[in-house]
Structure 1
Amino acid sequence: MAKFRRTLLVATAVAAVASAQQQQQPPEDTTQQPEGLHALMLSAGKLYFGTATDVGNHNDEKYQAILAHQGEFGIITPENSQKWEVTEPRRNQFVYTTADTVAEKAQDNGHLLRCHTLTWHSQLPPFVSSGSWNASDLTDILTTHITNVMTHFKGRCYAWDVVNEALEEDGTYRESVFYEVLGDKYIPLSFKIAAQADPEAKLYYNDFNLETSPKKADGAERIVKLVRDAGERIDGVGFQGHLIVGQTPSRRALAALLSRFARLGVEVAWTELDIAHDFSSAASNGSSAANATQLEQQAADYVSVVGACLDEPRCVGVTVWQFTDKYSWVPLAFPGRGEPCLWTATYTKKPAYDAVSKLLREAAANKTGVSTSSAPTLPTPSSISGAAAALSRGGSGGALLSPLLGVVGGLMAMFVL
């Protein structure tokens, strides 16, 4: 009964706030805020189209103007500022300066927040990675970190990447301080701590190359079952989607992969999508800039990935790992690769952007996208409240109001019936 009252109150409040704010806001100037990817994604039946960002981009006015457009993005992920080496650089000394700045940016822009990441072998502070731990001590360290960080951001995160990149390419467990000391038990342990720290946030396992490595995908399925068999909660699997132009699997193959995990009863999402050109390949002839043919192929590859999400009801959305080549991590991490994003370094939309926009527009018009609302995993009440807050700040609020009220109406109807 308490849950019924809370849901009913949240639904009623969201509808009232959204209605009042719509009346107070002046008509949107659509010449200044053109229809964007997030608005189109909602129209196609999904929850969001988002991007990674971080404090290093905050003084770039052109970047911020695109980021702030709610029709373009509905959710943001802190690229680095929530990682362990930043949030707990020394044992029991927690620092949230940069992470709070990103969270506040999300709130100011009316975006949801996708939080990243808790238990990961990389970007650890020396006190964790270089320590000689027994199982009890490392469990205490893990418990303290996850509990403190998640409690600090409690109520602000749609989802957390609880465990990140725990697998090698052959599907075996990656050697890390956590695996060496605790074995594979560190994975369900992390989910147990996370569920206790923030019961409302979606809890994800997140990894790369699941799209291209069958054995690694097998390992990820094993992780979902491992967590479930331990009696712990896992809500989603994140497919990072760091792909290469011309080597991206087909839409059908990607949709089949997403569906494989959806059948396990978890939601799925593309969490770090970028599709880079390989300028070291023979086809590039020594060039470091994409030609028209390569841009067309990149567009087709982006359509395959986003289209796969449209085809799977439990796919909730797509997050790109930065939207402009100007701030992409790819050239630094992989010399010879580059230009992986939807915007150029000078903020021109690429053919890939146009192709994704066309895909989403057609899916909405022809009802070919499979609505996430048909899956049993809906946004939490706090997420719905966050969406209502987004609507109150203008941008594409008018375009987003109908989907929100549809969710509210569905919640009301469940309890009326």
Structure 2
Amino acid sequence: MLLISSCNSIPKNSGASLSLKNTYKKDFYIGAALDTNQIKETDPMVTDLIAKEFNSITAENCMKSMYVHPEKGKFDFKMSDQFVAFGEKNKMLIHGHTLIWHSQLAPWMAQIKDSVTMAEAMTNHISTIVEKYKGRINSWDVVNEALNEDGTLRKTVFLDTYGKDYLSFAFKLAAKADPKTDLYYNDYNLCNAKKRKGAVELVKNLQKNGAKIDGVGEQAHWNLTSPSLDEIEKTILDFAALSVKVSFTEFDISVLPNPWDIVGADVNQRAEASEKMNPYPNGLPEAIQIQLAARYEAIFKLFLKHQDKIDRVTFWGVNDKQSWLNDWPIKGRTNFPLLFDRESKPKKAYYSLLSLKK
């Protein structure tokens, strides 16, 4: 498989204990996104679970600009420092998320109106953060969700002020700040042909413009029936053909129905609540537990088929209680998308992934 450069290498944890990270240690990193309470280690049982099961972590929210750079010239690294320290203590691969994103954006940055000011803001933001964690953060999502569903560039303050070259500019800034960290483009719905084609062109343009890009992250916010395994496989092959690492960066499988007009994982999308849209408020029926386990197993079989191309599989959360899907795109729903339930106990899906390697 593709390895991290020797200067930035984190050994995959080994040991006799049965766990996800040990089961897949020869294949790819197994990661989880950590929320604030998990970073603070407020629940010892959850802390132990994270250390036992995962060898890679991503910051769910604390490194987004509205938190780490809330005001011009003012950075708040308290939580991101704790996040990095957690990863180092547990000898994990540490992934930074995210440097440039139009959502959860620092308000002062969203108000910029001209290219010169935006260039200064991006330079200060990226250079300060990446240099601070130079040699400690193994990889970064440099730009997140820059594409529309048809593969064209999304209209954002970065595109409006700086122009389409803001992507190359961002990647070059990050590479200059830490030449040895891996740099990713990250997005959702890359299994959809039009958007995937746009992402392929985005990567090619970065390469043509001399920007360092090491990998593409497919967020993998999927459900019980889609995308198809064929489309997932095409995604792996199309990005691997560009000589970049392939990662599945925000993996979860929703078991709930989706409103007909909701596509993708745009956190700003909302729909009306109804009983039909929240069918399992008191727990997941056994039949759906089995279906979820089978879906995870089928996807991981495909991942194992292409383990030489895949660097990391990161679940977007540790347990069902933490999952963002409880509130998206409808507030107050009860979803069950991860491998551990609300009490952090393993589900059938967890055991189905362990059994694949027996």
Shared fold by TM > 0.5?
yes
Residue 176 (structure 1) aligned to one of 156, 177, 184: 156
Deviation of 1:203 (Å): 0.5
Residues 326, 287 of structure 1: alpha-carbon distance in 2 compared, 3 angstrom cutoff: closer
RMSD over aligned CA atoms reads: 2.5
- Secondary structure, aligned partner of 2:253: strand
Which residue, out of 18, 27, 32, partners 1:35? 18
Q: Does 2:167 match 1:187?
A: yes
Q: CA deviation at 1:253?
A: 3.4
In structure 2, how many angstroms separate the alpha carbons of the residues matched to 1:216 and 1:337?
29
Match of 1:349 in 2: 346
Letter of the structure 2 residue corresponding to residue 258 of structure 1: I
Aligned residue-pair number? 332
Deviation at 1:219, TM superposition (A): 1.1
Kept in 1: contact 2:223–2:254 (CA 8 A) = yes
For 2:21, the aligned partner's letter is: H
For residues 265-294 of structure 1, give each alpha carbon's deviation from its aligned partner in whole angstroms, at most 9, with x where no partner exists: 101011110101115799989333321221
> Which of 179, 183, 187 in structure 2 is aligned with 1:207?
187
What code does the residue aligned with 2:184 have? Y
Letter in 1 for 2:137: C
Alpha-carbon distance in 2 for matches of 1:234, 1:280: 34
Asked if 1:328 corresponds to 2:323, the answer is yes
Give the aligned residue type for 1:51: A
Partner amino acid, structure 1, of 2:246: V
Compute the displacement of 1:233 (Å): 1.1
Asked whether 1:259 is paired with 2:242, we answer: no
Letter in 1 for 2:124: T
> Is 1:77–1:114's contact at 8 Å kept on the other side of the alignment?
yes
Partner of 2:228: 249
Post-superposition offset of 1:329: 0.9
Matches for 1:269-348 after TM superposition, within 5 Å = 269-279=247-257, 286-288=279-281, 289-312=283-306, 313-335=308-330, 336=333, 338-348=335-345
- Cα 1:273/1:36, change in 2 over 3 Å: same
* Structure 2 partner of 1:73: 54
Rate the CA distance shift 1:346–1:137 in 2: closer, same or farther, 3 A. Answer: same
Q: Which has the larger radius of gyration?
A: 1
Aligned partner (choices 211, 226, 230) of residue 232 of structure 1: 211
> 2: CA distance between counterparts of 1:206 and 1:227?
14
Q: Is the 8 A contact 1:210 1:217 kept in 2?
A: yes
- For the residue of structure 2 that corresponds to 1:333, the secondary structure is coil
- Alpha-carbon shift at residue 238 of structure 1 (Å): 0.2
User: How far apart are the structure 2 equivalents of 1:85 and 1:234?
Assistant: 25
Consecutive unaligned residues in structure 2, runs of 5 or more: 260-274
Q: What secondary structure sits across from 1:259 in the alignment?
A: helix
Q: Which structure 1 segments of 5+ residues have no match? A: 1-5, 23-27, 363-417
Map 1:364-403 onto structure 2 (within 5 A): none
Find the aligned partners of 1:246 and 1:283 in 2 and give their Cα distance: 18
2:63 is the counterpart of 1:100: no
Question: Normalising to structure 1: TM-score of the pair?
Answer: 0.75
| Contact kept in structure 2, 1:82 and 1:117, CA below 8 Å | yes
Paired with 1:285 and 1:59, the residues of 2 have a C-alpha distance of 30
Provide the rounded CA distance (Å) in 2 between the counterparts of 1:137 and 1:264.
Answer: 33
Q: Aligned letter for 1:255?
A: E
Q: Distance in 2 between matches of 1:352 and 1:89?
A: 39
Q: Secondary structure at the match of 1:325?
A: coil
Bigger mean CA deviation after superposition, 79-88 or 330-339: 330-339
Contact residue 51 and residue 320 of structure 1 kept, 8 A:
yes
Deviation for aligned residue 1:55: 2.3
Displacement, 1:254?
1.5
Task: Name the SS for the 1:301 alignment partner.
Answer: helix
Equivalent-residue separation in structure 2 for 1:136 and 1:130 (angstroms):
13
Q: Deviations over 1:340-399 (max 9, x none)?
A: 11000012211111111112x14xxxxxxxxxxxxxxxxxxxxxxxxxxxxxxxxxxxxx
Amino acid at match of 2:117: D
Between the aligned partners of 1:337 and 1:248, the Cα distance in structure 2 is 22
Residues 327 and 285 of structure 1, relative CA distance in 2, 3 Å threshold: closer
The CA distance in 2 between the partners of 1:280 and 1:225, in whole Å, is 33
TM-score between the two structures when normalised by the length of structure 2: 0.87
The 3 A distance-change label for structure 1 pair 285 and 241 is closer
- CA distance in 2 between partners of 1:308 and 1:150 (Å): 34
| Displacement after TM superposition at 1:314 (Å) | 1.6
Q: Give me the identity figure in percent.
A: 32
Q: Give the 3-state SS of the residue equivalent to 2:352 in structure 1.
A: helix
